[in-house]
């Protein structure tokens, strides 16, 4: 590693390259060397830092930019671990942080070392320019997001609540990136996320000798249920955030797409409209308008010559913020029927409402930089550490401004081969985060 140069904030793409070069594939994560690098930058710039660790080689790093005491603290947090790049075909090696064709390439370029680099750049710039925000800015680089946060957010929220004292709002992933509809550029600002829920459906039927045909077996019932889940949608739900998002989109695009989007908000037409817009927008809107399940695993049968009397199907359920596990269970029973046991085995309830107080400010920052862009609030279909911070009453905004060219699908690039971010976007993103520090509490 080169000697510590805190002016690296002027080159956020280089900061990102350095972060990518630490292989923090989780598992095992091994985030310590990367955290030590961030620590060296922050301490060289004059920040006091602290490592809070459940496991020594997997610390979380905290620091604080002192504010003027005129607003409560604002949290900036991001995870330092990444998912595996194994068995993927990359154009450039995933942990070299190459710059080519105007992009920084590598695992974590989008999810979310780019965001960490933007936040660190904003903090270093604040120090360099002697800027004091209205409220303290608390920064936390967290480990272990990709496998649930046992060493990261979950551990911090359970055992170090005091570190988040008085914090109401936070900036983190999983939003701020661009999506184009009808040639219009939208920035998606995450304000809520779906709740994860594990479901087991058990089917019972006659067992018997593998040599004698058995009708209406547990396997057959499971097959019927899988077909029903494939062919039928769960009911349509239009939450307040999604309604605002869809109305904003509809008001900016041209006919006939505008009319299709407006009709998404009529539950009797939603599913038909989703089919129509799928061609242009893929499956993006479907999970924002339904609770969903995907069948993931099956357990049934032990010996090849014994027909099993019981088969269990394991499903990944995702519930909209204003619904709960009971709602999903009832919706599933309506599809698969009563001749089985539908059981919720794990449900992590997160925040039901979204506090949009900071949305206009975040949106204005993007519009000042790009007057033609349209920031919209979104619920994300996946879940992040935000669900854990929400337990402390913290509203996270997924706001890592990532300016992608039209045709570049953010969701398809995250966790995939050739993850990459435009170099120019690192500059505009770091600047946008810095403007958040300037505007917060004003």
Q: Which stretch binds Zn ion (CB under 5 A): 1-9, 12-20, 110-118, 200-208?
A: 110-118
Give min distance, CB of 320 to Zn ion, in A: 21
Give min distance, CB of 232 to Zn ion, in A: 32
Q: Which stretch binds Zn ion (CB under 5 A): 109-117, 262-270, 281-289, 427-435?
A: 109-117
Give min distance, CB of 400 to Zn ion, in A: 10
Closer CB to Zn ion, 97 or 152, in the complex: 152
CA distances from 193 to 152, 354, 388, 390 (A): 19, 9, 11, 11
Closer CB to Zn ion, 111 or 331, in the complex: 111
Q: Which stretch binds Zn ion (CB under 5 A): 36-44, 108-116, 239-247, 279-287?
A: 108-116
Structure tokens at 216: 């209406």
> Closest residue (Cβ) to Zn ion?
111
Closest CA to 296 of 309, 277, 315, 279: 315
Helices (H), 257-354: 257-264, 270-281, 325-336
Q: Which of 111, 136, 257, 385 is in the footprint of Zn ion by CB under 5 A?
A: 111
Q: Which stretch binds Zn ion (CB under 5 A): 35-43, 150-158, 167-175, 326-334?
A: 167-175
Closer CB to Zn ion, 53 or 112, in the complex: 112
Closer CB to Zn ion, 179 or 250, in the complex: 179
The CA distance from 288 to 321, in Å, is 10
3-state secondary structure of 158: helix
Structure tokens at 363: 């949106």
Structure tokens at 26: 């989780």
Closer CB to Zn ion, 112 or 374, in the complex: 112
Give min distance, CB of 53 to Zn ion, in A: 20
Applying CB under 5 A, does 112 fall inside the site for Zn ion?
A: yes
Q: Which stretch binds Zn ion (CB under 5 A): 22-30, 106-114, 222-230, 374-382?
A: 106-114
Burial class (CB in 10 A: 0-12, 13-18, 19+), 41: buried
Q: Which stretch binds Zn ion (CB under 5 A): 122-130, 166-174, 231-239, 387-395?
A: 166-174
Give min distance, CB of 42 to Zn ion, in A: 21
Give min distance, CB of 348 to Zn ion, in A: 17
Contact 391, 76 (CB under 8 A): no
Residue given tokens 């010559």 in the structure block: 305
Residues 383-412 binding Zn ion (CB under 5 A) are none
Q: Which stretch binds Zn ion (CB under 5 A): 13-21, 165-173, 202-210, 308-316?
A: 165-173
Q: Which stretch binds Zn ion (CB under 5 A): 111-119, 147-155, 251-259, 426-434?
A: 111-119
Residues 323-352 binding Zn ion (CB under 5 A) are none
Closer CB to Zn ion, 184 or 415, in the complex: 415
Applying CB under 5 A, does 39 fall inside the site for Zn ion?
A: no
Closer CB to Zn ion, 173 or 257, in the complex: 173
The torsion defined by the Cα of 171, 173, 176 and 180, in degrees rounded to 10, comes to: -160
The CA distance from 135 to 65, in Å, is 9
Give min distance, CB of 384 to Zn ion, in A: 6
Give min distance, CB of 328 to Zn ion, in A: 24
Map residues 168-207 to x or -, x wherever contact with Zn ion holds by CB under 5 A: -----x----------------------------------
Omega of the bond leading into 256 within 30 degrees of 0 (cis): yes
Contact 320, 194 (CB under 8 A): yes
Angle at 328 between CA 271 and CA 314, to 5 degrees: 105
Q: Phi/psi of residue 427, each to 5°?
A: -70, -50
Give min distance, CB of 82 to Zn ion, in A: 8
> What is the total residue count of the chain?
442
3-state secondary structure of 112: coil
Closer CB to Zn ion, 112 or 264, in the complex: 112
Applying CB under 5 A, does 65 fall inside the site for Zn ion?
A: no
3-state secondary structure of 347: strand
Angle at 317 between CA 312 and CA 322, to 5 degrees: 145
What is the C-alpha end-to-end distance of the chain, expressed in Å?
39
Closer CB to Zn ion, 110 or 307, in the complex: 110
Closer CB to Zn ion, 411 or 432, in the complex: 411
Closest CA to 42 of 141, 112, 162: 141
Q: Phi/psi of residue 69, each to 5°?
A: 75, 20
The CA distance from 386 to 206, in Å, is 46
Sites of contact with Zn ion (CB under 5 A): 111-112, 173
């Amino acid at each position: 590693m080169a000697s510590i140069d805190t002016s690296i904030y002027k080159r956020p793409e280089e900061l990102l390259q350095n972060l990518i070069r630490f292989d923090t594939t989780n598992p095992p994560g091994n985030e310590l060397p990367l955290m030590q690098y961030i620590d060296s930058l922050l301490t060289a710039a004059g920040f006091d830092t602290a490592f809070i660790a459940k496991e020594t080689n997997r610390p979380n790093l905290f620091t604080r930019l002192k504010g003027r005491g005129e607003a409560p603290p604002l949290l900036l947090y991001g995870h330092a671990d990444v998912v595996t790049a194994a068995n993927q075909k990359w154009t450039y090696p995933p942990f070299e942080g190459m710059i080519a064709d105007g992009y920084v390439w590598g695992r974590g370029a989008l999810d979310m070392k780019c965001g960490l680099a933007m936040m660190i750049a904003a903090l270093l710039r604040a120090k360099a320019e002697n800027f004091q925000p209205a409220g303290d800015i608390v920064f936390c680089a967290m480990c272990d997001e990709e496998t649930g946060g046992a060493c990261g957010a979950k551990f911090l929220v359970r055992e170090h609540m005091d570190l988040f004292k008085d914090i109401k709002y936070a900036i983190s992933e999983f939003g701020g990136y661009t999506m184009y509809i009808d040639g219009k550029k939208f920035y998606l600002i995450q304000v809520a996320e779906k709740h994860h829920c594990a479901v087991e459906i058990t089917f019972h039927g006659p067992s018997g000798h593998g040599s004698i045909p058995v009708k209406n077996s547990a396997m057959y019932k499971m097959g019927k249920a899988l077909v029903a889940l494939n062919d039928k949608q769960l009911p349509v739900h239009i939450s307040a955030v999604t309604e605002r998002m869809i109305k904003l989109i509809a008001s900016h695009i041209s006919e006939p797409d505008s009319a299709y989007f407006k009709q998404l908000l009529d539950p009797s037409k939603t599913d038909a409209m989703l089919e129509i817009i799928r061609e242009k927008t893929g499956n993006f809107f479907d999970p924002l308008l339904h609770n969903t399940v995907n069948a993931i695993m099956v357990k049934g049968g032990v010996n090849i010559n014994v027909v099993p009397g019981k088969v269990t199907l394991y499903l990944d359920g995702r519930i909209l913020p204003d619904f709960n596990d009971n709602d999903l269970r009832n919706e599933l029973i309506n599809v698969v029927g009563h001749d089985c046991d539908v059981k919720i085995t794990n449900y992590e309830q997160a925040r039901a409402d979204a506090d949009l107080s900071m949305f206009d400010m975040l949106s204005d920052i993007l519009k000042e930089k790009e007057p033609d862009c349209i920031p919209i609030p979104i619920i994300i279909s996946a879940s992040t550490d935000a669900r854990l911070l929400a337990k402390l009453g913290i509203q996270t905004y997924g706001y890592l401004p990532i300016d992608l060219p039209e045709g570049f699908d953010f969701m398809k690039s995250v966790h995939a081969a050739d993850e990459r971010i435009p170099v120019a976007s690192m500059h505009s993103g770091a600047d946008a985060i810095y403007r958040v520090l300037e505007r917060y509490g004003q």
